Amino acid sequence: MTNHDFGLIGLAVMGQNLVLNVESRGFRVAVFNRTGSVTREFVAAHPGKAMFGATTLEEFVGSLARPRKIMIMVKAGAAVDAVIDSLVPLLDKDDIVIDGGNSLYTDTERRDERLRGLGLRFIGAGVSGGEEGARKGPAIMPGGPASTWEVMRPIFEAIAARAEGEPCVTHIGPGGSGHYVKMIHNGIEYGDMQLICEAYHLFKSAGFSASELAEVFTAWNDGDLESYLIQITAEIFRQTDPETGLPLVDLILDAAGQKGTGKWTLQSAIDNGVVISTIHAAVEARILSSMKERRVAASRIFDRPAESITARDKAALVGMVHDALYASKIVSYAQGLDLIATMSREKGWNLDLSRIAAIWRGGCIIRAKFLNPITEAYRADPSLENLMFAPFFRDALNRSQQRWREVVSMAALAGIPVPSFAASLAYYDSFRSAVLPANLLQAQRDFFGAHTYERTDRPRGEWFHTRWPEVAD
Ligand code: NBP
């Protein structure tokens, strides 16, 4: 049979669920996996589906209608190149290869250039939503030529999640922009998760039980923090360990893992001169958490503060932490979107931040009510310089800032690390400060390196140097 509409290579958790999703929308699919037993078992486990399990790559390619539409869903990195290398000799002009994994956007640009040179078409598509999203409807962030997007559009729109009636997929932009936006999505996800963990840490230190925590997060999920991550956090607090009957969360080791998209986001921010301190703190919090043995040893050596968090009024503490979390979340998104906007200008991608925020409203891990006002803010002003300037978020920050400060200072006094709350607050305070101490910094630079400085009493762009006194060593 040579009439399959869509082919997928890589039948691990994402590939399996994604291809079942595609099939369920009425497309005939062909699948292939490097380890053949995986293909056989997968096809056998889903009888009655319009699905062909190929035993060789040649058979797989031969089973697809032209132009072929082949999605690669394998481990990011060398595996993607290995699959492309073996596919290329089997393909015909205008066939479409889609990399749906979490590839680094620079790899996507390299692959795009190579395949274009061979007369093939390439799409680098970020897919978010994990296993469940892949099966029921992910958010999809495809980058590549608009004409190739148009060919893929019916399949992508059919399988994507929907929010407010619209499919959670849009043509992000050219080249590696789809994977870039997915990378920043993951960075923002790191920030959201860490902020929730910091709120949890404060509540736990104040003596909240797992069932009280479940109630707090359930209530939050009815308000302006409504989101998938808040929802699953409430569920996590409800889960007990079948063996011990204890809350499962208390039995899980506090050493976090990470795969790389957070680190790539930081590297891009540094390359572009954009501050994403909330996400930075979140990535570093995972690194510090992973040093479990060192932390245990240090906990025996270093003094802890005399103060602890005592919540005589638990409801008041919940309200304060809510505001600190909400304000920090605004800062985190402002930073992440600033990075996307900066990169868009740098690369000439012409990205539409309103559309990007709109497709994140469904299917993906960071889906949240919060993305509605972000979508609106960029729709109202596509050239919005920073999300914090949008009236909705400006007012929310002004309303929250006092309690946000109280939470960060309370945590500092009790010795509870809240790196992302604190980094967000420091960013906010720097951002809203008309005057910062960088005058002294410029003086220091001029002193030791003749780097020159501008003056407050002269127009910008005029540079001065002072002959500073010599200092003895
Ligand atoms: P994995 O990232 O665990 O990759 C496993 C798949 O890659 C298997 O099908 C494996 O085949 C194949 N593979 C490897 Br490894 N090396 C290969 C090679 N040299 N040639 C051909 N195939 C090779 O799978 P996943 O968790 O489903 O993720 C797939 C992609 O989606 C990744 O880029 C991931 O970052 C991204 N993603 C994952 C999630 C998630 O929640 N898991 C969410 C969003 C995006 P084998 O069976 O022969 O070993």
Rounded CA-CA distance 195/193 in Å is: 6
* Helix orientation angle between 371-380 and 391-414, rounded to the nearest 10 degrees: 140
Last residue of a domain, one of 121, 153, 175: 175
* Closest-CA residue to 68 (of 35, 40, 28): 28
The answer to whether residue 330 scores a pLDDT higher than 90 is yes
Residues 285 and 392 in one domain: yes
Residues 76 and 159 in one domain: yes
Whole-number pLDDT of residue 258: 87
Residues 209 and 156 in one domain: no
Residues 218 and 170 in one domain: no
| pLDDT-above-90 percentage for the chain | 96
Give yes or no for residue 187 CB within 6 A of ligand 1.
no
The residues, ordered by sequence, that sit 6+ positions from 345 with a Cβ below 8 Å of its Cβ are none
Q: Quote the mean pLDDT of the chain.
A: 97
Pairing between strand 51-53 and 69-72? unpaired
Whether the CB-CB separation of 178 and 141 falls below 8 Å is answered with yes
The tens digit of pLDDT for each residue in 238-261 reads: 999 999 999 999 999 999 998 889
| pLDDT-above-70 percentage for the chain | 100
The answer to whether residue 63 scores a pLDDT higher than 80 is yes
Whether the CB-CB separation of 268 and 183 falls below 8 Å is answered with yes
Residues 459 and 385 in one domain: no
Whether the CB-CB separation of 95 and 120 falls below 8 Å is answered with yes
Residues 372 and 455 in one domain: no
Question: Is 120 inside any structural domain?
Answer: yes
Rg (CA), the chain: 25
Give yes or no for residue 35 CB within 6 A of ligand 1.
yes
Last residue of a domain, one of 175, 204, 239: 175
Structure tokens at 438: 């960088």
How far does CA 413 lie from the centroid of its chain?
Answer: 31
Residues 244 and 370 in one domain: yes
Burial of 77 (0-12, 13-18, 19+ CB in 10 A): middle
Whole-number pLDDT of residue 312: 79
The tens digit of pLDDT for each residue in 410-451 reads: 999 999 999 999 999 999 999 999 999 999 999 999 999 999
- CATH code of the domain in which 293 resides: 1.10.1040.10
User: Mean of the pLDDT values across residues 292-296?
Assistant: 97
Nearest CA to ligand 1 atom 13: 74
* Closest-CA residue to 64 (of 119, 115, 27, 100): 27
SS3 51: strand
Residue numbers of the domain that contains 89: 6-175
Rounded CA-CA distance 352/348 in Å is: 12
Q: How many residues can be counted in the chain?
A: 473
Give yes or no for residue 98 CB within 6 A of ligand 1.
no
Whole-number pLDDT of residue 260: 85
Nearest CA to ligand 1 atom 17: 79
Rounded CA-CA distance 230/33 in Å is: 35
Residues 455 and 362 in one domain: no
The answer to whether residue 232 scores a pLDDT higher than 90 is yes
Question: Is 1 inside any structural domain?
Answer: no
Whether the CB-CB separation of 65 and 2 falls below 8 Å is answered with yes
Last residue of a domain, one of 126, 157, 175: 175
Give yes or no for residue 74 CB within 6 A of ligand 1.
yes
Nearest CA to ligand 1 atom 11: 34
Structure tokens at 212: 């009280």
Structure tokens at 221: 């999920």
Q: How far is CA 415 from each of CA 213, 254, 302, 408, rounded to the nearest angstrom?
A: 21, 17, 11, 10
- CATH code of the domain in which 56 resides: 3.40.50.720
SS (H, E, C) 410-470: HHHHHCCCCHHHHHHHHHHHHHCCCCCCHHHHHHHHHHHHCCCECCCCCCCCCCECCCCCC
The tens digit of pLDDT for each residue in 376-396 reads: 999 999 999 999 999 999 999
User: Mean of the pLDDT values across residues 399-420?
Assistant: 97
Whether the CB-CB separation of 160 and 21 falls below 8 Å is answered with no
Rounded CA-CA distance 426/102 in Å is: 31
Residues 407 and 455 in one domain: no
Rounded CA-CA distance 173/184 in Å is: 15
The residues, ordered by sequence, that sit 6+ positions from 20 with a Cβ below 8 Å of its Cβ are 46, 49, 135
Domain count, the chain: 3
Q: How confident is the model at residue 473 (pLDDT cuts 50, 70, 90)?
A: confident
Active-site entry in 109, 182, 198, 329: 182
The answer to whether residue 1 scores a pLDDT higher than 70 is no
Phi (first) and psi of residue 220, to 5 degrees: -60, -35
Whether the CB-CB separation of 424 and 331 falls below 8 Å is answered with yes
Q: Where are the beta strands (DSSP E) in 29-111?
A: 29-32, 51-53, 69-72, 96-99
Helices (H), 239-313: 261-272, 277-290, 292-299
The answer to whether residue 25 scores a pLDDT higher than 70 is yes
Best probe residue, ligand 1, of 20, 21, 34, 127 (max atoms within 8 Å of C-beta): 34
Question: Is 336 inside any structural domain?
Answer: yes
Give yes or no for residue 83 CB within 6 A of ligand 1.
yes
Structure tokens at 289: 């958490």
Phi (first) and psi of residue 152, to 5 degrees: -85, -15
Other Cβ atoms within 10 Å of 36 Cβ, number = 13
The answer to whether residue 180 scores a pLDDT higher than 80 is yes
Active-site entry in 109, 189, 198, 329: 189
- What is the whole-number distance in angstroms between the Cα of residue 80 and the centre of ligand 1? 9
Rounded CA-CA distance 73/9 in Å is: 6
- Whether cis (ω within 30° of 0) applies to the bond prior to 469 is no
Residue 130 alpha carbon, nearest atom of ligand 1: 41
* Closest-CA residue to 5 (of 33, 31, 30): 30
The answer to whether residue 49 scores a pLDDT higher than 80 is yes
Residues 292 and 161 in one domain: no
Residue 138 alpha carbon, nearest atom of ligand 1: 44
- What is the whole-number distance in angstroms between the Cα of residue 58 and the centre of ligand 1? 21
Residue type, 176: G
Question: Is 440 inside any structural domain?
Answer: yes
Give yes or no for residue 57 CB within 6 A of ligand 1.
no
Annotation says 189 is catalytic: yes
Nearest CA to ligand 1 atom 30: 101
Helices (H), 387-437: 391-414, 419-431
Q: Which residue has the higher pLDDT, 155 or 260?
A: 155
Whether the CB-CB separation of 99 and 83 falls below 8 Å is answered with no
Whole-number pLDDT of residue 310: 82
Annotation says 23 is catalytic: no
Give yes or no for residue 73 CB within 6 A of ligand 1.
yes
Question: Is 313 inside any structural domain?
Answer: yes
Which single residue is written with the structure tokens 């699948």? 31
Residues 200 and 313 in one domain: yes
User: Mean of the pLDDT values across residues 117-132?
Assistant: 96
The tens digit of pLDDT for each residue in 332-380 reads: 999 999 999 999 999 999 999 999 999 999 999 999 999 999 999 999 9
SS3 205: helix
Residues 418 and 445 in one domain: no
Give yes or no for residue 75 CB within 6 A of ligand 1.
yes
Rounded CA-CA distance 89/143 in Å is: 24
* Closest-CA residue to 162 (of 15, 344, 25, 352): 25
Q: How confident is the model at residue 307 (pLDDT cuts 50, 70, 90)?
A: confident
Nearest CA to ligand 1 atom 4: 75
